[in-house]
Amino acid sequence: MNEAIRLSFETMRNNTGGPFGAVVVKDGKVIAHGYNKVVSTNDPTAHAEVVAIREACKALNTFQLDGCEIYTSCEPCPMCMSAIYWARPDKVYYANSKEDAANIGFDDNFIYEELALPYEKRKIPLIRMMDKEALEAFKEWMSKSDKVEY
């Protein structure tokens, strides 16, 4: 956790993003570092946890983090929690809470509120189209004999 917190200071002081850091650990060894790179890369998905997950997966040459733990300087946002669930680490440890983050201007509560609304009432409408055409790829996936399941 000390390393995740150190990274949160580094990214903030270097103006690369907000004060967030994360590391991925396997067998007691840090295998990947991540810090917030939203501002420096113009990438709204470049949160510390996502960056750390990407680096860990590269290092391990896998798309799942079985046997790993994530240490993050702040409770993960909804996007990062989704990425964590997809990566499937064994545990996640965090320091600051989502309330602590909201108190300094990083409030994700609006996302939870938006997701609870019907599609047509959201600030960013979610509109379905061309579902029959897109469904053909799903049908082909189901019969594909050499697919890699995840």
Q: Is 56 exposed, middle or buried (0-12, 13-18, 19+ CB in 10 A)?
A: buried
Residues for the chain: how many in total? 150
Of the residues 3, 10, 49, 69, only one is catalytic, namely 49
Distance of CA 130 to the CA centre of its chain: 29
* CA dihedral of 3, 8, 13, 18, whole degrees rounded to 10: 160
Query: Does residue 49 have an active-site annotation?
Result: yes
Distance, in Å, from the CA atom of 12 to the CA atom of 18, rounded to the nearest integer, reads 5
The residues that are catalytic are 49
